[in-house]
A and B are shown apart, each in its own frame.
Chain A
């Protein structure tokens, strides 16, 4: 006789799967990857390939020999981490540093916590910050973008717009004096400026974000609350003293702001579980970013802000519960 299955309800399952989500994120990152290859040339392809191969290799070897669990390299999470890591690196980073980055991301930030779903911090960001602190020179000499279409010229390195502003303001210059050095809004939007591979092109990042929201991989709460906070705070300072503070749009378009808001802060594993919690989380990241950018030692603060807020997530999860049905009914009850 046929053997029937027995299980508790529900007996049907939705279309969603972890794999689909992860590859959805990968698809969302494709525009950004294409733009970075366009601007940084063959070197960008090298960084991507090495990050991906190294990450998958570490994931495989740790899963097989240390955790001894089922192989998980197919679920796409290591791929997402690898691409995010690559997007966070300058395109001229030496190969061995990228491999160290992949080891830190997969081995230290992800697998040592127990693998997918258990890490407290965003693996790609941990690796980026690790590299930034360990190799400050290599990590902060960004090549100037030179589109492939313009031929393979020698790579010229230079600071990011944020670095220019930070140093300029530090040297008692005013914003109007710095204006010729920093890229225009159109340049910022397209990505024609110095920076890590994935940071530069705002338009590609936004495209990816819209795709993920359409596919319901992320919700609007984290990016919007984070960017809004940045806009409001930088706007206040800019409004008070436009000569000594950069304007909000500049803050939005430069550095890792959009990459962080769309791809890093929204990482499911390390972000809060409830929508109200996500708003608070986004607010915290935005505030910390602005504080670090304006008064911190580093010109860029998104990675640090996200990592700090990652650590606060368990607290946010405790404090911000979803609105429960029937707890504050707010209608006239039966007399």
Chain B
């Protein structure tokens, strides 16, 4: 095999800590109450179409897309709509949610709940995309970008490759890893469906080399076919970033400020491929997902298949409780995840993991002066100068930040991870992106 592929610029290698990689996916019981936020995807929130007191079934449409970049939401449980009210979600804010009290587990009509694998793809590209759109599928890697939008390249652009993201470069998280091991067949059918939808001839599955079992398992399943190729990649964070993965897999660089389709690539997560399989072959909308519950102090680091809307406290209970000295709860991985303010928030489509950090891990180091060691510049996968950008953002020099391409930042956090002075570089970069984004929007509106 020779030298393993990876992306060119920067990158770090934090301690992997994949504590739950040997824990098989467990299906959690249906929650007593499901809290379904209306804004679960990148883009416009969805519009509810049920009202208080309505009876709903599992998989029934309860909210529909509220714009072009938006998705449908289906009921994850069957029961009665308690209310449509503001409840705290992963953002830390109270946002409109549909709250459903579960009565029994009754599925909506037409959904195939059996475990049988349906491998024959009968639908045409248009129908597949329509089905994916209706099933409310979003990118399950965490970005929650509506999948169907990615499957419709703008006119004049043709997709050449489909790249499946099985990298899971975030430390701790193992949801994708377990899915590849346990749902390999479904994922491969899902990939073929996506390939048909996009009309591409070749797909790559990028998997980091720290998951040799997943690589060999998928290779085993793919024996004799050459439309899909498994690519072992060198372990390097942030390889799961779209642009980095494309560079690693097919050695193409997405131009600054452009989308992957510009270089003929579409990237989808393995979890998304599984969801696509279920939606297209089984008529099952996106109502559940695999969530890793992990952390150094967690008694039983696990991977759970849970319904959307389950409160994370239930997941933590299933992992044998909240450890005594938990100092921080993170929705997602430790590099890009979001700190959570409360245990009451529900699992949403984008929740890939719940990470419980110990007290001594949670607090940041004391910030020191920048010693201009340029380590942030060396590790930046986008070739930016984080020290300069964060300083510009801190001082309010947004013009400079814009000229130094702050909008290219993918917020991977490599710069801050490696900073010897523990400067909150990414905090300021985010602030800068926020402000520069506002300035750009104002300029475009004029």
- Tell whether any CB of A sits under 8 Å from a CB of B in the complex: yes
| C-alpha spacing A62/B416, complex, angstroms | 30
Q: Are B419 and A5 in contact (CB under 8 A)?
A: no
By a CB distance below 8 angstroms, the chain A residues around B341 are 4, 6
Interface segment out of the listed A111-119, A226-234, A255-263:
A111-119
* Interface residues as binary, B14-42 with A (CB distance below 8 Å gives 1, 0 otherwise): 11000000000000000000000000000
- In order of increasing CB-CB distance, the 6 nearest A-B pairs are A10-B413, A329-B253, A324-B383, A16-B420, A117-B369, A273-B374
CA distance A41 to B328 in the complex (A): 56
**Shortest beta-carbon distance from B290 to chain A in Å:** 21
Q: Which of A73-100 contact B (CB under 8 A)?
A: 75, 77
Contact, CB under 8 Å: B380 / A16: no
Does B405 contact A324, Cβ atoms closer than 8 Å?
yes
Interface segment out of the listed B191-199, B222-230, B254-262, B275-283: B254-262
Indicate if the CB atoms of B383 and A8 lie closer than 8 Å.
no
Query: Quick one: given A8-B430, A20-B420, A117-B372, are A13 and B255 in contact (CB under 8 Å)?
Result: no
| A window 265-279: CB within 8 A of B | 268-269, 271-275
Number of interface residues of B (CB under 8 A): 79
Say whether B256 contacts A327, CB under 8 Å.
yes
Is B12's CB under 8 angstroms from A14's CB?
Answer: yes
Scan residues 322-375 of chain B and give those whose CB is less than 8 A from a CB of chain A.
326-330, 332, 334-341, 355, 357, 361-365, 368-375
Question: Residues 315-326 of chain A: 1 if any B CB is under 8 Å from the residue's CB, otherwise 0?
Answer: 000000111111
Residues of chain B lying within 8 A (CB to CB) of residue A321 = 385
Tell me how far the C-beta of A41 lies from the nearest C-beta in chain B, rounded to whole angstroms: 35
A335 to chain B, nearest CB (A): 7
Question: Could you tell me the dominant secondary structure of chain A's interface residues?
Answer: loop
- Give the interface of B toward A (CB within 8 A): 8-9, 12, 14-15, 92, 157-158, 160, 171, 243, 247, 251-258, 261-264, 326-330, 332, 334-341, 355, 357, 361-365, 368-375, 377-378, 380-385, 387-388, 405, 408, 411, 413-414, 416-422, 424, 426-427, 430
Residues of chain A within 8 A of B371, CB atoms compared: 18, 21, 77, 116-117, 268-269
**Of the candidates A6, A11, A17, which one forms a contact with B422 in the assembled complex, judged by CB atoms under 8 Å apart?**
A17
- Provide 24 A-B residue pairs closer than 8 Å at the C-beta atoms, listed in order of the A residue: A5-B339, A6-B92, A9-B426, A10-B416, A10-B417, A11-B337, A11-B362, A12-B15, A12-B171, A12-B334, A12-B335, A13-B365, A16-B419, A17-B420, A17-B421, A17-B422, A18-B420, A20-B420, A77-B371, A269-B372, A323-B9, A326-B256, A327-B255, A329-B253
A2 at the interface (CB under 8 A from B): yes
Residue of A nearest to B160 (CB): A334
